[in-house]
Amino acid sequence: MAELSILHLYPETLKLNGERGNTTALKIRAEQFGLKVRVAQVEVGQDLPAKRPHIVVLGSGTLSATLHAATDLQSKGDQLHRWLVAGTKVLAVGSGFDLISQGLNLANGGFLQGLGLTNTTHSIEPTYLVGEVELTNGIAGFINSNRSISRGSGAFQVGVVQASDSKELIGYIDGYSDGRVLASNVQGPLLPMNPKLADLLLSWVYPKLTKPTSLRTIDCLASKARKAISVRVRG
């Protein structure tokens, strides 16, 4: 039986929007695909596992929690970069996206160096963008973020907000996806609400997986949740 190893970094420090749900969604879906799944958790100050994981998950936290995690993450940066070269994939949401970006411009004029896994640079803005969203590719959830994102060359975004109960969010370009890193500011949590993204991430690790019929019920429930958001933001 093929195995899938997931490393959830900072599950207690970066847990602002129920990000454990993303790890749970990956685990459940991978098991339904017939994979044997191992999940490890590493907190600030703890060592990375000796064996390279297939997927690393980073969640979102308050700014103070993000700054706390950032110092520790930089100390692990070289190992994480080696893992990515060897084939590890990364899922990052919210401030986890900040941590793997080129860096985050802070409101006080400082700069928080990121791991440089995306071509994006983020900045803290005075006001938050808050609302339920439906993106161009059918992804749905909610955004609660005061980050602006500048992008390098390449169309690596996850999607563009086409409908929202907040007019300021219309046209918002979300996330980053390049076949090794999947990042987003959409919550819900992201993967339980949008299981096709979980399957995309799994396919980056095992390209020949065949989707089982046992996932139909979960996928139907997720579809109903996305449709409910669509009705609200388009109503």
Write the pLDDT tens digit of every residue in 88-146. Answer: 999 999 999 999 999 999 999 999 999 999 999 999 999 999 999 999 999 999 999 99
As a whole number, mean pLDDT of residues 11-20 equals 92
Residue 235 has pLDDT above 90, yes or no: no
pLDDT of the residue at 114: 98
Domain count, the chain: 1
pLDDT of the residue at 1: 82
Tokens of 77: 């940066």
Cβ pair 39, 28 in contact under 8 A: no
Q: Which domain holds residue 183?
A: 3-234
Length of the chain in terms of residues written = 235
pLDDT of the residue at 77: 97
Write the pLDDT tens digit of every residue in 49-103. Answer: 999 999 999 999 999 999 999 999 999 999 999 999 999 999 999 999 999 999 9
Residue 190 has pLDDT above 90, yes or no: yes
> What is the pairing mode between strands 3-9 and 36-42?
parallel
DSSP state for residue 187 in the 8-state scheme: B
From the list 154, 206, 195, the residue with the least C-alpha distance to 175 is 154
Give me the CATH number covering residue 65. Answer: 3.40.50.880
From the list 112, 88, 109, the residue with the least C-alpha distance to 100 is 112
DSSP state for residue 124 in the 8-state scheme: E
- 20-32 vs 195-205: helix crossing angle, rounded to 10: 60
